[in-house]
Structure 1
Amino acid sequence: MIPLLIFALFAGCRKDDDPGNVDEIPGLGGDVWVEGPVDKWIEDSLTTTYNMTVKYKWEQGELDPTKALVPPHEDKIIPVLSTIRRGWIKPFEEEVGNLFVKRYTPKYFVLVGSSQYNMDGTITLGTAEGGRTIELYTLNDFRVNWMPGYVPSDSPNVKMMFHTIQHEFAHIMNQTVAYSPDFKRISVGKYTGNWVNFTDQEANRRGFPTAYAMSSSDEDFVEMVATMLMEGRAGFDRIVNNITEDGADGTPAATARAVLRQKEAMVVEYYRNSWGINFYNLQTRTRAALVALIK
């Protein structure tokens, strides 16, 4: 039985105005506050080291005014960002160096406490905007054990957050250097706007890593990247090897497995040829970092 409410992890990249170019409205707060310990941590840990900045306080016009959103709790900011640094930034830095991180990772994070509910019944957990900004939602659901290192205690939420970031960063990378058009032809004719009506397992049987990957070739590519990084090589192998039934559309199980392997090879080739990155090394580092965070 397919749930009535389907979680959409991602939304397409928007071309909005620069989030910093919003005039303050007198009497309604605006973007003025006295810097505190959170701001000092962001400056020392992200801005100085990686050329990133973070917006976690509200500004008029910052987000979609038609959505009912709430700001993040301030006590979530450092735990969330510390976790992001350890689980996403560090593996890239260790594999390809600090210069790559400074140059290509998004420069601006906007943090939101709640999810963004959409008219089609989906929930947006993250967006990437123009290769510069990532918006992350649902921060107030993030829980931690208050111990040194801020080790997260809710592994599903942590995995969801990192999947969102990996997905959005993969968008940014292929907006900078396009992936091969041959990828678009692998599942041609099988993409659908009705992806919300499929489970991930049903999508697997049609040669897709997740249901959301069925929405377009661009989403298919970045979902391959995010799934491979988050699950690790052994985990992705399990996804492929567990396809033992034919798809409801008649796709033979052997064909679905072969399609996913073909897409895997093209992701690995893209990272090697376009970025000089050994994807399997990055995958190993990323998976190890995630396991260390959620153990």
Structure 2
Amino acid sequence: MKKILFLFFSVSILFSSCAKEDDLGKSLIDTSTPELNDVDQWIRENYTYPFNVEVKYRWDNSELDNSKILTPPAKDDVIPFLDNMKKIWIDPYVNAGGIDFMKRFIPKQMILIGSHNYNDNGSIVLGQAEGGRKISLFDLNYINFDFTGMSDWEKGKAMEPILRVFKTMHHEFGHILHQTVAYPIEYKKICTEYTSNWMNYSDSDARKLGFITGYSMLNPDEDFVEMLSVFLMSGNAGWNEIIDGIHIYDENWDYDKAAQDVAKGKIREKEKIMADYMLQVWNVNIYDLQNEIEGILTGIQSEE
């Protein structure tokens, strides 16, 4: 009986103490639901709900390198950019590999930046990926999808930044795939001239050595994703023109067909390994994927 009375007395003291706590006032943490504007709602319907992706376009310096001078994208540019990214990158992969494939591998956070992101050497960063879960995209304020009244030449120039930024998306997505399941080791043995001084090679010079771009000379992984992204964004005819356009001359400026055939053969060998890998591992036919993307890009450029 004494134990029961003691327990009751202790509990009474506890509740009495809680009741006498001071009022701490209103919480400083904002737990209210943020008001959604038209851009936020569009993002929810097209990215967040179907793919569980967070898209941040408002300024948030915690997401960026504070040593860089960067600016957010113009609000009016956000939906056109994201809509075209869905058409050029997300939807084709959904059609090729299935919705579950894309839900699994799409980066879950996207940061949109309006300005250029310059390196110390003057080069420009088009995109940055972090662990396959977050990607930052730059240059949005320099991309225009409204071709109204443009001449064919002006449309061609307007397409250049579009091709660059979405090539970057395919490049970074290629990293996510090969970091999940590695491509065959044989790919790494095709070329041996990898170098940290890749910036000293033009794309034309790199192709003479069997690389698709200068940047692909950095290491085999960059080589693989550069091959994939250039292949997908060039279209069938454009891809073949790149390879057919490799011309090599010897020190006497005589046409060196043997060296040229070696360079072309290396790129074609990489293409075959890449195509087999994508089909066998991910059930994605890159030739069908290339064809779909080419049709979308042609449609964008032909808009009046």
TM-score when scaled to structure 1?
0.83
Q: Which whole-Å CA distance do the structure 1 matches of 2:301 and 2:128 have between them?
A: 24
What 5-or-longer segments of structure 1 have no aligned partner? 1-25, 27-31
Q: Which whole-Å CA distance do the structure 2 matches of 1:292 and 1:129 have between them?
A: 32
Tell me how far 1:165 sits from its aligned partner. 0.5
Map 1:185-196; keep pairs closer than 5 Å: 185-188=189-192, 190-196=193-199
1:72–1:111 Cα contact (<8 Å) kept: yes
Q: Check if 1:89 corresponds to 2:90.
A: yes
Q: Which amino acid aligns with 2:293?
A: T
The structure-2 alpha-carbon separation of the partners of 1:264 and 1:246, relative to structure 1 and needing over 3 Å to count, comes to farther
What 5-or-longer segments of structure 2 have no aligned partner? 1-27, 149-153
Q: Check if 1:227 corresponds to 2:230.
A: yes
Q: Which amino acid aligns with 2:167?
A: H
Q: Which whole-Å CA distance do the structure 1 matches of 2:297 and 2:250 have between them?
A: 31
SS state at 1:61 partner: helix
Structure 1 partner of 2:262: 255
Tell me how far 1:233 sits from its aligned partner. 2.2
Structure 2 partner of 1:53: 54
Structure number with the higher helix fraction is 2
Map 1:83-232; keep pairs closer than 5 Å: 83-145=84-146, 154-188=158-192, 190-232=193-235
The structure-2 alpha-carbon separation of the partners of 1:164 and 1:172, relative to structure 1 and needing over 3 Å to count, comes to same
**Which gives a bigger RCO, structure 1 or 2 (Cα 8 Å, sep 6+)?**
1
1:128–1:172 Cα contact (<8 Å) kept: no
Tell me how far 1:99 sits from its aligned partner. 1.5
Q: Which runs of 4+ in 1 moved over 6 A?
A: none
Q: Which amino acid aligns with 1:268?
A: A
Identity of matched residues, %: 38
Q: Which amino acid aligns with 1:227?
A: V
Q: Check if 1:241 corresponds to 2:261.
A: no
1:112–1:135 Cα contact (<8 Å) kept: yes
SS state at 1:110 partner: strand
Tell me how far 1:35 sits from its aligned partner. 2.1
Q: Check if 1:267 corresponds to 2:270.
A: no
Q: Which amino acid aligns with 2:278?
A: Y
- CA deviations over 1:76-133 (Å, ceiling 9, x no partner): 1001001101111111112222121111111111101112111122110101110111
TM-score when scaled to structure 2?
0.80
SS state at 1:123 partner: coil
